Chains A and B, each alone.
Chain A
Amino acid sequence: MELHRDIRAAVVAHARFCYPNEACGLLAVDGAGALRMAYCCTNVEQSPVSYTVDATEHLRAMVHAERNGWALGGVFHSHTHSPAHPSRTDVARALEPEWLYVLVSLEDPDDPDVRAYWIREGTITEEPLVLGGTP
């Protein structure tokens, strides 16, 4: 899947802004399944080890996406000191089988790692990301 470099920059910037707490946000996809927008949201837990997307921001992101002909199709969050791989908690709380789960690792703060996964019935499958957009 193509990840536009501006979307990658946005999720990394949000992860850095929220550090040392985990950052989180939502992703909109178009009818072809392409990523179109990252919504940087509030982690209401304000925690370095867990996140919950602010519910009102979730609703507003959904409305915004739908008004643009998109739909919410993913969520991103950061791991501040661990790899960009879903944790057991991430898997247990992954309720949307058609959503892409994007992880931003700040384990190496100078070289953030961004990876994406499908989580379906407890099974994790990595979706390779290809950087798109004009440098």
Chain B
Amino acid sequence: MSVQIRIPTVLRPYTDGNAVVTAEGATVAEVVSSLDRLHPGVGSVLLESDGSLKRFVNVFVDGENVRYLQSLDTPVPDGAEIVILPAVAGGR
């Protein structure tokens, strides 16, 4: 299944500067895996070494944060829009 993924600025060096790319997959994990095959290096930015989603990475499927769904096992409908947003954070 083909999905469109919005890529944040910090990841665009991996996608030749493209803000929107296409990948395949029926779950978020499969889409991330597809994304990493098409754009090597993206996976290591998004995932911890144990394969879980990094704390400062947010992934939305059709507007829903996957952290509140099934995380990387969240199903991705055909034609879904995925948005990757790095956490906006700072402090003293």
In the bound complex, what is the Cα–Cα distance between A45 and B55 (angstroms)? 13
Question: Given that A95-B9, A95-B10 are known contacts, is A59 also in contact with B88, CB under 8 Å in the complex?
Answer: no
In the bound complex, what is the Cα–Cα distance between A108 and B85 (angstroms)? 34
Contact between A58 and B85, CB atoms less than 8 A apart: yes
Report if A128 contacts B (CB, 8 A).
Answer: no
CB distance from B54 to the nearest CB of A (A): 13
Q: Give the nearest-CB partner of B9 in chain A.
A: A96
User: Using Cβ atoms and an 8 Å threshold, which residues of chain B touch A50?
Assistant: 89-92
Q: Does more than half of chain A's interface fall in helix, strand or loop, or is it mixed? A: mixed
Report if A35 contacts B (CB, 8 A).
Answer: no
Question: Given that A59-B63, A95-B10 are known contacts, is A77 also in contact with B87, CB under 8 Å in the complex?
Answer: no
In the bound complex, what is the Cα–Cα distance between A58 and B81 (angstroms)? 16
The proximity string for A residues 82-100 relative to B, scoring 1 for CB distances below 8 Å and 0 otherwise, is 1000110110011111100
CB distance from B11 to the nearest CB of A (A): 10
Q: Give the nearest-CB partner of A79 in chain B.
A: B92
Report if B5 contacts A (CB, 8 A).
Answer: no
User: Using Cβ atoms and an 8 Å threshold, which residues of chain A touch B8?
Assistant: 95
Residues of B within 8 A of A (CB): 8-10, 58, 60, 63, 65, 67, 83, 85-92
Would you list the 7 A-B pairs with minimal beta carbon distance, nearest first? A50-B91, A90-B90, A55-B58, A53-B88, A52-B89, A49-B92, A89-B91
